[in-house]
């Protein structure tokens, strides 16, 4: 079967499996004897790829969605093997699957989606008008589980983009796992270990496995991960605003509402003056800054040193994602804790950071580190080192945000997470439940089996950019 492509953006790439180089250009697909068609290996169900289902305000813009600017210690929760849960949760799954940890992945589906934001999200990388994400659905014995990974539209946060993660997962990862059995997340990770890097693409499939596995075991995902409670406390975040007064108004509202901490995106030209105003208005608030790798140790030393003046909880990812040594030097020269985000893509990266003393806090995002199995290992390493850790997010849909919230229930995540109410960013989320915060600013996950937030088919279809299916072998 074939896949016809009608993507409203340009992307050049060549396949490594013997296929000739192809080019997306404008809204038409060029290249090859089929004149705009490709037959993806492993995808036997026809999958049409168009922008026709997207909301009008997205398709009108033709996706000018981003303006650019400058092997491990393993911990497998006992519940993975035992499948022990409260009777209320067990009753929600077919009894034949309980205490059987083996999951045979029978079918798979993958989607690249674009969720329009209510207002653009601005960081040191640029500006996003929509969040591009990859969702994977895995099935086994009539049960399905959805996972999500959100690398964003362009490879600015990491070397991956939503398009590259979608294509890599579709072309390589899903064909490798459909039809196979996996008893643990470690088994799945070993199966995909032959493929180098691509943690966001791996996380899309891996988080779907966890969702499916937890449903089969009759457990909420947070229990499967070893969570201590069914809630995750969250902070408030603010991107780069039009004016400092606009930012102060937003912070004032968050402080009045009692949020436990405030995170501010900073970049060159939006940093010291902003912090002087913020600390002048809110001297006692718990505040940290996120630099999104926007500074250089030598060129920006004066600014980096000046951050010490503002009693910040941490400076998140001040330098390039590859600069562990420079981060270690920076941490030795300033008193404010450095938190690593983009630099930690695996448990191995974090072990190196610990050895180098490159940080005093670590941020953990399932997508960035290749999934929940690796995220748990990093949590354990931080806990054993006595280092504060916390869960980050990528503005995922309700599916991915709930997965992050489930991870955040682990006891070693002590700093409030980056998980946001659906209505803060989206006019309409794709899930049957919205992400909401209670009076204590916690996401309440409850005792329902699996992730607990399922895509509504019509809503999912409306924001789908591309999709492919993998039937049973």
Whose CA is closest to 117, among 153, 159, 156, 166? Answer: 153
Neighbouring CB atoms inside 10 A of 470's CB total: 25
**What CA–CA distance (Å, rounded) separates 35 from 18?**
17
Neighbouring CB atoms inside 10 A of 62's CB total: 12
The answer to whether 365 is a known catalytic residue is yes
**Cα 236 from chain centroid?**
17
- Angle at CA 324, nearest 5°, toward 309 and 271? 30
- Residue pair 114/65 in contact (Cβ under 8 Å)? The answer is yes
- Residue pair 224/184 in contact (Cβ under 8 Å)? The answer is no
Q: Looking at residue 172, what DSSP letter applies?
A: I
Catalytic residue among 202, 265, 267, 467: 265
Catalytic residue among 202, 345, 365, 467: 365
Six token digits for residue 62: 């033709």
**Cα 219 from chain centroid?**
22
Q: Could you tell me the CA-to-CA distances from 305 to 252, 288, 310, 319 in Å, in that order?
A: 26, 15, 10, 13
Q: Could you tell me the CA-to-CA distances from 247 to 161, 239, 268, 424 in Å, in that order?
A: 29, 9, 16, 16
- Which residues are known to be catalytic? 265, 365
């Amino acid at each position: 079967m074939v896949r016809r492509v009608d993507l409203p953006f340009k992307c050049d790439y060549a396949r490594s499996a013997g296929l000739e180089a192809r080019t997306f250009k404008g809204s038409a697909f060029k290249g090859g004897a089929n004149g705009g068609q490709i037959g993806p290996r492993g995808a036997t169900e026809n999958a049409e790829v168009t922008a026709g289902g997207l909301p009008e305000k997205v398709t009108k813009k033709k996706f000018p969605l981003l303006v650019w600017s400058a092997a491990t210690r393993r911990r497998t929760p006992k519940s993975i093997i035992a499948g022990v849960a409260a009777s209320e949760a067990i009753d929600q799954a077919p009894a034949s699957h309980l205490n059987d940890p083996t999951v045979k992945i029978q079918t798979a589906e993958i989607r690249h989606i674009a969720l329009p934001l209510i207002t653009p999200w601005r960081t040191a990388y640029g500006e996003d008008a929509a969040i591009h994400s990859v969702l994977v659905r895995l099935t086994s014995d009539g049960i399905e589980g959805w996972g999500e990974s959100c690398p964003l539209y362009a490879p600015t946060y990491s070397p991956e983009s939503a398009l590259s993660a979608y294509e890599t997962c579709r072309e390589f990862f899903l064909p490798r796992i459909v039809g196979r059995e996996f008893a643990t997340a470690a088994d799945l990770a070993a199966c995909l270990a032959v493929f180098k890097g691509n943690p966001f693409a791996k996380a899309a499939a891996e988080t779907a496995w966890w969702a499916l596995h937890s449903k089969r075991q009759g457990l909420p995902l947070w229990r499967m991960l070893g969570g201590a409670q069914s809630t995750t406390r969250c902070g408030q975040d603010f991107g780069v605003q039009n004016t400092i007064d606009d930012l102060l108004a937003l912070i004032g509202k968050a402080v009045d509402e009692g949020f436990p901490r405030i995170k501010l995106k900073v970049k060159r030209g939006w940093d010291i003056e902003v912090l002087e105003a913020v600390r002048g208005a809110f001297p006692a608030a718990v505040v940290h800054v996120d630099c999104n790798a926007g500074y250089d140790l030598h060129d920006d030393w004066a600014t980096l040193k000046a951050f010490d003046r503002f009693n910040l909880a941490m400076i998140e990812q001040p330098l390039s994602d590859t600069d562990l040594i420079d981060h270690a030097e920076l941490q030795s020269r300033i008193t404010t804790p450095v938190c690593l985000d983009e630099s930690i893509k695996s448990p191995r990266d974090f072990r190196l950071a610990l050895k180098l003393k490159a940080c005093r806090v670590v941020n953990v995002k399932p997508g960035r580190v290749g999934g929940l199995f690796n995220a748990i290992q990093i949590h354990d390493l931080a806990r054993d080192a006595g280092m504060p850790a916390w869960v980050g997010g990528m503005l995922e849909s309700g599916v991915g945000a709930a997965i992050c919230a489930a991870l955040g229930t682990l006891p070693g995540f002590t700093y409030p997470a980056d998980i946001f109410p659906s209505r803060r960013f989206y006019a309409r989320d794709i899930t049957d439940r919205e992400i909401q915060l209670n009076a204590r600013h916690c996401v309440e996950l409850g005792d329902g089996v699996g992730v607990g937030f399922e895509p509504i088919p019509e809503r999912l279809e409306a924001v789908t950019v591309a999709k492919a299916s993998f039937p049973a072998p």
